Amino acid sequence: MQVANNMAVSIHYTLTNDDGEVLDSSIDQDTLVYLHGTGNIISGLENAITGKVVGDKFNVRIAPEDAYGEIHDDRVQVISRDMFEGIDDIQVGMQFHADVSHGPGVVTVVSVNDDDITIDGNHPLAGMALTFDVEVVNVRPATAEEMAHGHIHGDGCHH
């Protein structure tokens, strides 16, 4: 059975950057299970998996625009420490949920300078080409409920 829209797809993957550094992997863990064709994974990877069958193993490099996008300078801003009400110790690397220019998202603290806190609303992998080593482990038709909900239910689901 080939991977197509409205299929429940299970994959193992290893994600690396252009320096070969492993950024994420499902090896020795549960597979990633997703509903194909609904944007639950980055578009470049979803396109590369389309048409594959169980047992297929492949390597694909995804350009930033088909992964987490380019870096947008307008998503980096300096805000007042007062915006972090109730948080006394703000450190570089901390992440917070916030309403940002492009909607709800996560911002990362990239600099702390007295009362000026610089935050970055870009995805941490924005601007990066990503390489995936993928193995297709399982493919099945999604249930009507899974299609209605837009994600897979049951073991190994990540919704």
Query: pLDDT (tens digit, 9 = 90+) per residue, 18-49?
Result: 999 999 999 999 999 999 999 999 999 999 99
Q: Sign of the C-alpha dihedral, residues 17, 107, 105, 34?
A: positive
Kindly list the structural domains of the chain, giving each domain's residue range(s) and its CATH number in brackets, ordered by start: 7-68+126-149 (3.10.50.40), 73-120 (2.40.10.330)
| Site of tokens 């603290």 | 109
* CA angle, residues 83, 84, 87, in degrees to nearest 5: 160
Query: pLDDT (tens digit, 9 = 90+) per residue, 123-148?
Result: 999 999 999 999 999 999 999 999 99
Q: How confident is the model at residue 155 (pLDDT cuts 50, 70, 90)?
A: low
Answer whether 0.95 is exceeded by the pTM. Answer: no
Point out which residues pair with 27 in neighbouring strands: none
Residues 6 or more apart in contact with residue 29 via CB below 8 angstroms: none
| Site of tokens 């499902």 | 26
Determine the Cα–Cα distance for residues 66 and 56; give it in Å rounded to an integer. 22
